[in-house]
Structures are given as structure tokens and as C-alpha cells.
Amino acid sequence: VITQICIIGAGPAGLLLGHLLRAEGIDCVVLERHTPDYVLGRIRAGVLERVTVDLMERLGLDARLKAEGLVHDGFNLTDGERLIRIDIAGLTGQHVTVYGQTELTRDLMDARHGRGLEVVYEAADVALHDIESDAPFVTYLKDGVQHRVDARIIVGCDGFHGPSRKAIPVSVGKEYEREYPFGWLGILADVPPCNHELIYANHARGFALASQRSETRSRYYIDVPLTERVEDWPDERIWDELAIRLGPQAAAHITRGPSIEKSIAPLRSYVFAPMRHGSLLLCGDAAHIVPPTGAKGLNLAASDVHYAAEALTAFFRRGDNDAIPAYSDRALARVWKAERFSWSLTRLMHRFPEDGPFERAMQVAELDYIASSRAAQTSIAENYVGLPV
């Protein structure tokens, strides 16, 4: 197969980019290791920034998002005693949209045939070749048969564990990394949310988050040591822990129900720079990871895709040779700010095992400051709602 762009990975980043390129009349092929059902089975992000909603709107694929997505004008921080409401709409004039990553991915997936976007699912052993040349190619195995895609540009949208980033020689890049000593245990259940807005809680027993997917579907998280296994957390144990950590007010409104999904995700901050080498660009989790506090992961993937689509369109449609080399710096400027926000909100809302009385006093002082300062609340709100693209 000969094409202009080969995209590796059909998560939100790969599918969004594929659709944007097709809308510009640029040829591309997307290679995905798993089946569509497997990709849709992974329950992940739930809060969309404007950049993500805008891309869906530009593609004309936002009908269901507009109909079913929940507009949230604020969210809450609590230490169990007081509830600090961050009035996103009042402080920034904007809002976030609660709509599951699964639903967004499904909308992009369902539109692929109608829009002429070719996605090869169950592509095994995907490997990148000659990325430092102007004629790179990708090989993969499908139904036991070896295939080859020749492209001008390869875009790695294959998540943190994919082969794209690993194809860049370590000597040309730099890795920045911070691991956290806990993971988030998530539970999804068909019960009404305990509150109409999200609540992030820092309790003596640890972090908790009350989120949602709709008026009848709730998503909750608690942080647990990395040594914990999902099997050790029957539903009732999670509901008990949530009731304690979210505090009595929220607990009074928690509706319990059987879990539809339960999983533990490790927390990590990670950036690989640069996000381009030769004819290979990286987008989304393939280049960076944020801890989930702040809901930035999916939205950063979308802003990368926005910059990448602009650069690729300038190159393929207008012959602009500077656009692709400029991609990495443009994307990283926004990535680093989201890394900072996610790291600082994680620091504020979790009890770290190594923390002593001083670190805890700093958390209390920061929450006091946020509770009493419009400037502090504005800073949190403008980061949460998403910095400009």
C-alpha cells in the first residue's frame, strides 16, 4: 500500500487525526493492534475540554456529543470538611463537557466508512522502518500475512506502550519522568451520581473522585497502593471507602450498585521530547503521560492532533516545509503546562507515603488559600477548562 500518511494506533488520537486528514483530502491508513470491541472496552477519561469538543464539531461528528454530553460549569475540591467550589463558568466564561472517551471513540469509529477513513484492526507486529528518510514504511502482520505501507510521514498515536516512540534513537531525545506510589482504582456503575458536579477529595485515608458519565451512570475513583489487586476490592469495599473519603455530605447521596467495570491504573508523569524525529511525529500518550488528576490526558492528545493536522495540512496541501519541523515545539509548549497542572493537583489532593507533618501543612495551607482567593480559583479554573490552543 502506498499512502501519504500512516497512522499507528486507533485510539482517540489516531482516529481524530485520521478524520481531520481525510477532511482535507489527504490520504492516510490507520493501523490498530486490537479489535474495535477491545478498544471500546477500555474505560478511561470522561471530561472533555473545548479543544476536544471543537475538533468533533469541525468534523461534523458532534451530534451525539451535543445531545448526550453534560455541560459542567464547575467542580469541587474537598478535604472532607469543607467543599471548595471552582466556578469554571463564572471565572472563565467557559465550561467542560462530561462525555466518555468510549463514546467519543465510538463516534469516530462509526464514521470511518462514511468518511473513507481506512482503519486496519488486528494489525500485529507493527514495525517502523527508515524514519530518518523521506520514504519511511511500516510493516505489519494481518491474518498471518505480512503487509507493507509506504508513506511520506508516519504518525505514532499508539499510546505509552506502542512501538513508535521506541523507534526514535534514545540519543536524539530526552525522557522526563516521575512515578507516583499509588494507582487509581476506578469503578463504573449504572447508578445516579452522588452530586451534579465532580468532587475531588483529599481525605486522611487517601484520594477519592466522584465523577459520572450520564445522569444514570457514575464513575468513581480511589487511590490505592500499587501493590493492590482489583480482586481484593469487592464492590462493597469500594463503596464503603468512597463513603468515608468523600465525606458525610456526599456519602449521604451515594447510590450503590453492581460494578460494570473495575480497574487499577498507575499514575505517572512522563514527557518524551522532541515529539518529532525525521519523518515520524508522535501524538498523545505515545509522547507523554499525565497523572489523571485534572483530566488532561485525552484533551492533550486532542491538542497534539490539532497541531499535527495543521502541520500536515500545510505540508501536503501547500508545500510548506517549515510546518512539520515546528510541530514539536508548538505541541510541547501546551504539554508542559498541562503536565505542571496535573502534577500540582495530584500533589495537592493525594496523601503521599513519604509525606510528613510539613507536607501535610502545605496541603492544608494551599486549600485554605484556594478557598479564600479568587485569583487562586481562577488559576485552577483556567487550567482545568483547558489552556488556549
End-to-end CA distance of the chain: 34
> Is 26 or 123 the residue whose CB approaches ligand FAD more closely?
123
Binding mask 285-314 for ligand FAD (x = CB under 6 A): x------x--xxxx--x-------------
44 binds ligand FAD (CB under 6 A): yes
* Contacted by 53, from ligand DHB, ligand FAD, none: CB < 5 to 8 Å by type: none
Q: For cell 515545539, what's the residue? A: 329
46 binds ligand DHB (CB under 6 A): yes
Could you write out the DSSP letters of every residue in 239-307?
Answer: HHHHHHHT-HHHHTTPPP--EEEEEEEEEEEEEEE-SEETTEEE-GGGTEE--STTS-HHHHHHHHHHH
> Is 129 or 178 the residue whose CB approaches ligand DHB more closely?
178
CA 178/CA 105 separation, integer angstroms: 28
Q: For cell 482504582, what's the residue? A: 185
Binding mask 267-296 for ligand DHB (x = CB under 6 A): -------------------------xxxx-
Q: What's 151's DSSP letter?
A: -
Residue pair 20/303 in contact by the 8 Å Cβ criterion: no
Q: What's 41's DSSP letter?
A: H
Q: How far is the CB of 179 from ligand FAD (least distance, A)?
A: 14
Determine the interface stretch with ligand FAD among 91-99, 155-163, 173-181, 359-367 (rule: CB under 6 A): 155-163
Instruction: Calculate Rg over the CA atoms of the chain.
Output: 21
Residue 206 region by backbone torsions, left for phi larger than 0, else alpha for psi between -120 and 50, else beta: left
Q: For cell 496541501, what's the residue? A: 317
31 binds ligand FAD (CB under 6 A): yes
- Of these residues, 200, 220, 221, 307, which one is catalytic? 200
- Residue 214: other Cβ atoms inside 10 A: 17
Q: Is 292 a catalytic residue?
A: yes
Q: Is 357 a catalytic residue?
A: no
Cell of 140: 505489519
193 binds ligand DHB (CB under 6 A): no
- Which residue number is nearest to ligand DHB in terms of Cβ? 46
Task: Find, among 288, 278, 256, 306, the residue nearest to 53 by Cα.
Answer: 306
Q: Is 384 a catalytic residue?
A: yes
CA 4/CA 18 separation, integer angstroms: 12
Torsion of CA 129, 17, 12, 140, to 10 degrees: -30
Determine the interface stretch with ligand DHB among 2-10, 44-52, 175-183, 233-241 (rule: CB under 6 A): 44-52
> Is 137 or 207 the residue whose CB approaches ligand DHB more closely?
207
Q: How far is the CB of 217 from ligand FAD (least distance, A)?
A: 14
219 binds ligand DHB (CB under 6 A): yes
* Contacted by 158, from ligand FAD, ligand DHB, none: CB < 5 to 8 Å by type: ligand FAD
CA 164/CA 344 separation, integer angstroms: 29
Q: Is 327 a catalytic residue?
A: no
159 binds ligand FAD (CB under 6 A): yes
98 binds ligand FAD (CB under 6 A): no
Q: Is 262 a catalytic residue?
A: no
One of 5, 6, 15, 47 touching ligand DHB (CB under 6 A): 47
Please identify every residue annotated as catalytic: 72, 200, 292, 296, 384
Residues engaged in binding ligand DHB (CB under 6 A)? 45-47, 198, 209, 211, 219, 292-295
Residues engaged in binding ligand FAD (CB under 6 A)? 8-14, 31-34, 39, 44-45, 101, 123, 126, 157-159, 162-163, 265, 284-285, 292, 295-298, 301
